[in-house]
Amino acid sequence: MYRVKGGLALTWLLLALAAAPGAAHAGFWTDWWRGDPVLAVINGKAYTESDFRHWWENWKEKDAAVPETPGAFVDWHLQVQEAERMELYRSPSYREKVLTFLKARGLMLLKKEEVDDRVRIREADLWDRYKERYTPRRRLLVLYYQDEAAARAAAGRLASGEVRPEAYAAGEAKDAGAVHASTRWFRPGEIPGAWTEAVAGLEPGGAAGPLAYGKGWAVLCLLDVRGPEQADFHRVEGRVREELRKEQEGRLTADLLRRLRAKYEVRVDEDLALGLAANETRAEVLDRPVVRTNRGSVTARVFLAQIRRDRSFRHRYGFAQGDAAAARRRVLDGILSQTLTTWEALDRHYEERPPFKWVYRFYCQHRLIKELEARLVAPKVRVTEADVRSYYDGHPAEFTEPATVRIIAVQEEGRLVDRIWAELQAGEDFSRLLRHYFPRDIPAKRVPVGHLQPEFRKVVEGLSPGEVSAPFTFNGKATLVQLVARTPARRRPLDEVREEIRERLRAEAFERERAALVRRLREASTVEVREDTWKDIRRAYAAESTTRKG
């Protein structure tokens, strides 16, 4: 039974429920009394305006308007109530998925609380880091040579003043032996390591080299040096800020892990961790704990399995395996980091704190509905081969690929088109003419015949493959078109689309059975909706939408 109530009628219902025993009814009265208007009572359980808002913010598509009725909200909670009645929250699959979700989101919230929200970057820190690592900037002329003797001679000419470096930089001077010449600004961390010492001793106008570089030699000349500048600082401010942020995140993370190791009383048997044979098979060794905590332990068996997974992952994706001891420490640190932060995230019960509380509640309800569907809807979905065949035979257009043509179209000013046409008439090849008259290739395009405009399509339909049309006017321009190939319409065979049809029919059947389940739940339930609360909700969302757009 689904009824809409006005304000006065529901007031009496509220009084009656308040007088009745039961936690649900007491909660109903309390929510209303605290100023959170009741929107609906579903099988005796009250749902308020806040309940709708929290549900809607998680359920809606982005920028979706509030629906005309609260029907979807009611249907959602009818399914949740049925799942709870069936105690589907005891299902292992439900519990596993909810715990996985809680762990993942809890870790994100722990990082936000312990790391992200504690990062503090002062403007003075940004400027100091900029001065320290991004200045001075040096503008270098770099000449590249394959021959060392030629490079040495060039360095001598620069050092003696025979050739001014500015002449190279401006392109006024040429060096026949140079393979390449370039100028650019270098920051301290950008100068190749082999050049650092040579560059550090240069004054503007000074040269250094030859210096080994790749398969050749380089000659360097310092053109200019710049210290800290506000304009340059603003160009790299984002990089500097990110650098400082990552450093602070690293320190905060390390501090968190130190505190968690103390809280969970972590003890590591490093001798066992580092000395354990990769092919160890003795049970008395494999069952020894590598890590002990006040929550449990990690055995050598588990530790070795994780080492193998790490080695396999690195091999598959081309990462260096590195030193065996370092690899084992990396795996051990990973186990501790993941385990301790997961425990801490769960211990903090973020699911009890807004706003994640509402996200978590919605996810739990969503998973309950999925469990309900798995038991009451999915088993009723049946799609036979006859159903697939019937659909295929009844929808020929859906599985027919349209007729297409591959064409090359030329649209240019009239005199050029006429010249090309005249040469075609004289026996010239169309492809050669296109290469001759146009600097870029004109590719053939595959187009469904039905997409061609009528006047263009009429011309194409009159051509044989390989034939070029006579000039015609299309969209105000002189046009030539060559038909490269024509592909007739083709109906895709059943074997090619069988699974596509089966999945579509399954989805449709599933939706029918799901709708039938909701109808049965409605018929077996008592639902009261307060119309004035619903109108207030819609008005409030409309006002919020207007404010955002304004």
Beta-carbon contacts of residue 521 (< 8 Å; ≥ 6 apart): 75, 78, 79, 82
- The pLDDT score that the predictor gives to residue 28 is 40
Task: Read off the tokens for 73.
Answer: 């909200």
CA distance 467 to 451: 21
| Range 249-257 contact pairs with CB under 8 angstroms and sequence separation of 24 or more | 249/115, 249/116, 249/119, 252/114, 252/115, 252/118, 252/119, 253/114, 253/115, 256/114, 256/115, 256/341, 257/336, 257/337, 257/340, 257/341
Alpha helices in 86-206 (DSSP H): 92-114, 123-134, 148-160, 165-169, 193-200
- The pLDDT score that the predictor gives to residue 22 is 36
Domain final residue pick, 447, 473, 488:
488
- The pLDDT score that the predictor gives to residue 268 is 96
Number of H helices and E strands in the chain, helices first, is 21, 17
- Return the half-sphere exposure (C-beta side, CA atoms, 13 A cut-off) of residue 428: 16
Share of the chain above pLDDT 70, in %: 91
Contact assessment for residue 350 and residue 105, using Cβ atoms and an 8 Å cutoff = yes
- The pLDDT score that the predictor gives to residue 317 is 87
Residue among 64, 539, 535, 59 at smallest CA distance from 547: 539
Beta-sheet pairing, 216-226 with 267-268? unpaired
Domain final residue pick, 470, 488, 506:
488
Please report the beta strands in 227-332, taking only residues with DSSP state E, as ranges in sequence order: 267-268, 289-293, 296-299
Residue with tokens 């359920």: 59
Beta-sheet pairing, 137-145 with 216-226? antiparallel
- Range name among 22-31, 85-94, 259-268, 491-500 with the lowest pLDDT average: 22-31
Question: In CATH, what number is assigned to the domain containing residue 459?
Answer: 3.10.50.40
Beta-carbon contacts of residue 153 (< 8 Å; ≥ 6 apart): 177
Position 249 in a domain: no
More confident residue, 233 or 150: 233
Alpha helices in 348-449 (DSSP H): 356-376, 385-394, 414-425, 430-437
Over 90: is that where the pLDDT of 30 sits?
no
pLDDT band at 192 (very low <50, low <70, confident <90, very high): confident
Look at the alpha carbons of 504, 507, 511, 513 in this order and tell me if their dihedral is positive or negative: positive
- The pLDDT score that the predictor gives to residue 173 is 55
Contact assessment for residue 470 and residue 421, using Cβ atoms and an 8 Å cutoff = yes
Residue among 419, 478, 489, 414 at smallest CA distance from 448: 489
Over 80: is that where the pLDDT of 261 sits?
yes
Structural domains of the chain, count = 2
- The pLDDT score that the predictor gives to residue 489 is 94
3-class state of residue 347 by DSSP = helix
Residue-range definition of the domain harbouring residue 445? 403-488
For 483, the enclosing helix (H) or strand (E) is: strand 477-487
Position 92 in a domain: no
Position 10 in a domain: no
Position 414 in a domain: yes
Over 80: is that where the pLDDT of 163 sits?
no
Q: Buried b vs exposed e over 477-514: b needs ≥16 C-beta within 10 Å?
A: ebbbbbbbebeeeeeeeeeebeeebbeebeeebbeebb
* Mean pLDDT, range 187-191, rounded to an integer: 88
3-class state of residue 484 by DSSP = strand
pTM of the model: 0.76
- The pLDDT score that the predictor gives to residue 334 is 94
Residue with tokens 């890590």: 291
Over 90: is that where the pLDDT of 218 sits?
no
Instruction: Name residue 110's beta-bridge partners.
Output: none
* Mean pLDDT, range 378-399, rounded to an integer: 96
CA distance 373 to 365: 12
Over 60: is that where the pLDDT of 13 sits?
no
Residue with tokens 């409030």: 540
Amino acid at 297: S
Over 80: is that where the pLDDT of 486 sits?
yes
CA distance 550 to 542: 12
3-class state of residue 134 by DSSP = helix
- The pLDDT score that the predictor gives to residue 202 is 85
- The pLDDT score that the predictor gives to residue 406 is 96
- Range name among 9-23, 108-122, 269-283, 400-414 with the lowest pLDDT average: 9-23
At 213, give phi and psi (nearest 5°). Answer: -150, 115
Position 30 in a domain: no
CA distance 250 to 278: 31
Position 193 in a domain: yes
Q: Is the bond into 136 cis (omega within 30 degrees of 0)?
A: yes
SS (HEC) of 256-284: HHHHHHHHCCCEECHHHHHHCCCCCCCHH
Q: DSSP string of 15-63?
A: HHHHHS-SHHHHHHHHHHHTT--EEEEETTEEEEHHHHHHHHHHHSPTT
Over 70: is that where the pLDDT of 262 sits?
yes
Share of the chain above pLDDT 90, in %: 68
Beta-sheet pairing, 527-530 with 2-5? parallel
Over 70: is that where the pLDDT of 29 sits?
no
Q: How many other CB atoms are there within 10 angstroms of residue 274's CB atom?
A: 13
Please give the mean pLDDT across all residues of the chain.
89
Position 196 in a domain: yes
Alpha helices in 395-493 (DSSP H): 414-425, 430-437, 454-461
Task: Read off the tokens for 222.
Answer: 């310092």
Domain final residue pick, 168, 203, 226:
226
pLDDT tens string 136-160? 999 998 888 888 888 888 888 877 7
Cα dihedral: 174, 175, 180, 183 (round 10): -60
pLDDT tens string 174-185? 665 666 778 889
Amino acid at 526: T
Over 80: is that where the pLDDT of 482 sits?
yes
Position 333 in a domain: no
Over 70: is that where the pLDDT of 341 sits?
yes
